A and B are shown apart, each in its own frame.
Chain A
Amino acid sequence: METKQGFDFKSVLNISLLAGGILLYLALVGLLTAFVKRDIIYKTLSLSFALVLISNFVFGYLAARRNSRGNWGYAIGDGVMVGVISTLMLSILVLLVQPLNMRAMFVNASPDLIKALTFNNQEAIMAVNTSGEWGPALATLARMVLTGVAASLVGAITFMLPQRWRKILLTGLVAVITIGTLAELFDDVVTNIFALFGAKKAAKPLLELFFARKGLSVTGAIYTFILTAGISFLWDWRGHTLKERYNTLPQNSQRGVRIGTLVILFAIAIFLPQILGGYLSEIMVTVAIFTLMGFGLNIVVGFAGLLDLGYVAFFAIGAYTMGVLTSTQLSQTTQLSGFGWTFWQALPFAVGMAVLWGIMLGVPVLRMRGDYLAIVTLGFGEIIRVLALSNFLQPSIGGAQGILGIAKPFIFGIELKNSQQLYYLVVAAAALAAFVSWRLRDSRAGRSWMALREDEDVAEAMGINLIKTKLLAFATGAGFSGLAGAIFAAKLTSIYPHSFNLLISINVLSLIIVGGVGSLPGVIIGALALVGLPELLREFSEFRMLIFGALLVTMMLVKPEGFWPAATQKRELHDDELEPESVTEAA
């Protein structure tokens, strides 16, 4: 291949058009309007416009990576071109929204979109249509284009910086965006930490230094940038000496440091509900429930390699068993008179029922593998949901009206009423699941599962009892899911069939894939990223599945082993890249 000389105009044009296309997509799909009200920097930068800037930054960076060839002039050219073309495309959209009445088709081509893109200056754009006045409109759009160009230029320049400075700059930028987006959260958490030490009042002046009424203040943003970039710089400068010093410590002291870290982590886990406050604890409970399910599915999919898309079925079975056994208002929706058991009496039955169904649904699919198994389990999940919703089973499980009045758990006579208290129960359950998974992984059963995952025929030839091994995986996975369901029912005290749809299966599957299939820390990372983050951004909920989908695809294309891959998985997927031939034969 010949190496091209000079500025590769065509290639940059392609990237620019792609960047513009992405911006148009973000605008029309509604992402740019969803976040107008969330300010990163108070009254200066909303998250909506920040998305435009981030996109331009990334594409400026990519363009420079592909075309600059170490030449500063080219890099600047790349940045400017990407910025100009992409934001011009966006400007054309802004101008066309009203004359073409695009809203009839695209719901998001609304005045809000124009408002978000023109720094609240939508009158200027409207003036073009009403009075034919182009001046203010062009001025507003020019401002947008210039800001966009600046972002992609910074992106291109970032690429040209030496690696060390690039890292420091990126850390600062990411920190400003994260802290600004989640300003309220940081505000609350810092206040709560100070309150924990009885110094609530001291928090206020510190917080006012950074935060405005919404988001960071302008000076706060600058402080945040300097502070985080500074920390990054210090770590870069002194970090490796710290690591070296740790490595040269005697064995005993190393262990001491490790135990110390664990104790600190444990203490944080104990005080977390107090630090986080009610709303965030609620989110943590949801995250923990999904972590618990994640550990269960991780055994089925990650260890044994059986792709189960109907995992929600066992969650539903656990929840409904808990509901039927403990509800005090059962007779309102069903023909059964209530059992009125306590949470702890019903819990073993809820888990047992899920395990039983795990085995019963496992038997017919013992001979299946791969895609077909996935589809059949998906079918099971849907059948259970439709049955739960139907009038047919209403006499026993309440149909569409669901089950109300489910008992809350008691521990030592204390009712776990709110999320701050339930947190301990859920986290204990998740920790149990983590412990069981960890012990099972290296046990005989765990090794059989992995053998099964690698090659069923060979595993059978090695004397592994396929039926027992597979059923054990299904049963264990179902048990954890049932436990999660039981806790879920007790947390909400009322359950409806609509809570048990396919999305839950997909959520759980996504979180173990994003975290790294078969990896235990990966489950926690995945749950925090996929369940926790979207909850923090309320406006996000509408786009959660969009991001999920995009994330799953991107993950599979770019990093199929996940964020925290299990050792074997990592090795395997990197072998694939080295020897694609052997993989085709295996498939």
Chain B
Amino acid sequence: MLSERLRNLSIIDSLLWLLRAGIIVLVLWGSFAGLTQGKHSDESWGQFYNRCTTQTDVGTVECMGKYSTETWRDFAIFGLAQGGIYALIALGYTLVYGVLFMINFAHGEVFMSGAYTAFFVANAFAQNGFLDSNPIVALSIVMLVSMVTSTVVAVLLERIAYRPLRRAPRLVPLITAIGASYFLQYTFRGLYGSGKKVYPDVSILTGKWVIAGIPILKTQVVVFVAAVILMLILYWFVQKTKVGKAMRAVAEDKDVALLMGIDVDRIIVITFATGAAMAGAAGVLYGLLFKQVDFIMGFVPGIKAFTAAVLGGIGNIPGAMVGGLFLGIFESVGPSLFLEGLGIPAAYQLKDVIAFTMLVLVLIFRPSGIMGEALSEKKA
């Protein structure tokens, strides 16, 4: 049985298997080397283990690589917060892919447009003191502005660039999306300038909360909680409302949906709008977490969110959420965990490499993602 399988293995397959094995070995070896950096050369493994498990205050620092347990925990929490943002953007990719089987390459720019526009509102509020006197109202307005801007951009995008091409060969909309992506980036550069803009500090969000004995930056808590709430609302919208049902019907089969009396064009616009609203909200959360916005800020988070969507199984809503959180944590912990273990200097520089490698690997080895159903070749 096994020998027969081996005989059928082509050269390409074996190369791909080698690649898989190589990466797994690299990651495991790197993590191992990273975590055992504190082992003295003269002590045995048993002594090392005992020292690390008994001494808590000084010893752990050396045992967990260069970082203390607290630092690892902070990495993970930061990863959750940024993962929440990735997940929100990923929803846009997944929703659109689910309905149209197209990668909306310009979705990162939809995210950018909201965040960048909302900055001016946030800044104005900060200058007249409204942001500090009524932080919740002010932030809600900022978020609303961001969501509305993103939605308007996405709806225009769908109407002008995508709808006329719905029946064109597959590469045509992809190239259009790339074009639209650059057009939007440089439009916003022209409108708002090329400099980096810094989101104002919100006074109630400075400092830390102690949750379950762990001190966490307030911004990170708010970003994560807001992301989760928005995702739950979206899930409810898609699963329980009539429009959501229509969306799922269109995703299943456009022609049959049309026969059932669903206005397919309208549902497609709503799908774009919903994804864009999520991206707009993510934009403000991004501004709170990373502070800086500019006109090219959409590209890298866009690619990462796409990775998250693919990771979870593109077209699958819970998949996008899980994929986003997973990617966020992996990216935040990864460089320190296994890249430093491999002896790479300034490993944080390579955090984008981790995300991109992950994207490449998932697409090569499991295009259906963690939670996705197997796509037929025609769709993939």
Residues of chain A having any CB pair with chain B under 8 Å: 25, 28-31, 104-108, 305, 307, 309, 363-372, 374-376, 378-380, 382-383, 386-387, 389-392, 467, 506, 509-510, 513, 542-543, 545-546, 548-553, 555-557, 560, 576, 580, 583-584, 586-587
Q: Which residues of A contact B360 (CB under 8 A)?
A: 364, 376, 379-380, 383
Q: Which residues of B contact A576 (CB under 8 A)?
A: 167-169
Q: Do A556 and B172 touch (CB < 8 A)?
A: yes
Q: Do A509 and B175 touch (CB < 8 A)?
A: yes
Q: Do A108 and B190 touch (CB < 8 A)?
A: yes
Q: Which residues of A contact B16 (CB under 8 A)?
A: 363-364
CA distance A105 to B124 in the complex (A): 10
Q: Could you mark each residue 76-109 of chain B with 1 if its beta carbon is under 8 Å from any beta carbon of chain A, else 0?
A: 0000000000000000000000000011000000
Q: Do B12 and A553 touch (CB < 8 A)?
A: no
Q: Do B169 and A587 touch (CB < 8 A)?
A: yes
Q: Could you mark each residue 348-364 of chain B with 1 if its beta carbon is under 8 Å from any beta carbon of chain A, else 0?
A: 01101100110110011
Assess whether B45 is interfacial by the CB under 8 Å rule: no
- Residue of B179, B303, B352 near A551 (CB, 8 A) is B179
Q: Do A583 and B167 touch (CB < 8 A)?
A: yes
Q: Do A371 and B176 touch (CB < 8 A)?
A: no
Q: Do B349 and A371 touch (CB < 8 A)?
A: no
Q: Do B190 and A28 touch (CB < 8 A)?
A: yes
Q: Do B170 and A383 touch (CB < 8 A)?
A: no
Known: A386-B350, A392-B344, A557-B165. A365 touches B364 (CB 8 A): yes
B interface: dominant SS:
helix
Residues of chain B having any CB pair with chain A under 8 Å: 12, 15-16, 19, 102-103, 120, 160-161, 164-165, 167-176, 178-187, 189-193, 303, 306, 310, 344-347, 349-350, 352-353, 356-357, 359-360, 363-364, 367, 377, 380
Q: Do B353 and A383 touch (CB < 8 A)?
A: yes
| Chain A proximity of B358: nearest CB distance (Å) | 9
> Which 3 interchain pairs have the tightest Cβ spacing?
A552-B179, A549-B183, A29-B190
| Chain B proximity of A421: nearest CB distance (Å) | 34
Q: Which residues of B contact A587 (CB under 8 A)?
A: 167, 169-170
Complex A-B: 16 CB contacts under 8 Å: A105-B191, A107-B191, A107-B193, A363-B15, A369-B377, A375-B363, A379-B303, A379-B363, A387-B353, A542-B189, A543-B186, A543-B190, A546-B187, A552-B176, A557-B161, A557-B164
Q: Which residues of B contact A365 (CB under 8 A)?
A: 364
- Residue of B171, B310, B345 near A392 (CB, 8 A) is B345
Q: Do B353 and A104 touch (CB < 8 A)?
A: no
Q: Do B176 and A28 touch (CB < 8 A)?
A: no
Q: Do A376 and B363 touch (CB < 8 A)?
A: yes
Q: Do B191 and A390 touch (CB < 8 A)?
A: no
Q: Which residues of A contact B310 (CB under 8 A)?
A: 375
Select from chain A the residue with minimum beta-carbon distance to B375.
A372
> What 10 additional pairs, Cβ within 8 angstroms, besides A369-B377, A506-B178, A552-B183?
A309-B178, A371-B103, A375-B103, A383-B353, A386-B353, A392-B350, A510-B179, A549-B183, A552-B178, A556-B175
Instruction: Give the most central of B171, B172, B193: most A CB within 10 Å.
Output: B171
CA distance A560 to B168 in the complex (A): 10
Q: Which residues of A contact B377 (CB under 8 A)?
A: 369
Q: Which residues of B contact A367 (CB under 8 A)?
A: 364
CA distance A156 to B187 in the complex (A): 29
CA distance A370 to B103 in the complex (A): 11
Q: Which residues of A contact B167 (CB under 8 A)?
A: 576, 580, 583-584, 587
Q: Which residues of B contact A586 (CB under 8 A)?
A: 169
CA distance A370 to B167 in the complex (A): 16
Q: Do A552 and B175 touch (CB < 8 A)?
A: yes
| Chain B proximity of A95: nearest CB distance (Å) | 19
| Chain B proximity of A503: nearest CB distance (Å) | 9
CA distance A378 to B178 in the complex (A): 12
Q: Which residues of B contact A374 (CB under 8 A)?
A: 174
Q: Do A553 and B164 touch (CB < 8 A)?
A: no
Known: A376-B364, A391-B345, A552-B179. A105 touches B192 (CB 8 A): yes
Known: A104-B120, A386-B352, A387-B353. A583 touches B187 (CB 8 A): no
Q: Which residues of A contact B380 (CB under 8 A)?
A: 369-370, 372
Q: Which residues of A contact B160 (CB under 8 A)?
A: 553
Known: A467-B12, A546-B190, A549-B184. A390 touches B349 (CB 8 A): yes
- Residue of A108, A376, A380 near B191 (CB, 8 A) is A108
Q: Do B179 and A548 touch (CB < 8 A)?
A: yes
Q: Do A545 and B182 touch (CB < 8 A)?
A: yes
Known: A364-B16, A389-B349. A370 touches B161 (CB 8 A): no
| Chain B proximity of A575: nearest CB distance (Å) | 11
| Chain B proximity of A202: nearest CB distance (Å) | 45
CA distance A375 to B304 in the complex (A): 11
| Chain A proximity of B115: nearest CB distance (Å) | 14
Select from chain B the residue with minimum beta-carbon distance to A104.
B120
| Chain B proximity of A287: nearest CB distance (Å) | 20
Q: Do B344 and A368 touch (CB < 8 A)?
A: no
Q: Do B120 and A379 touch (CB < 8 A)?
A: no
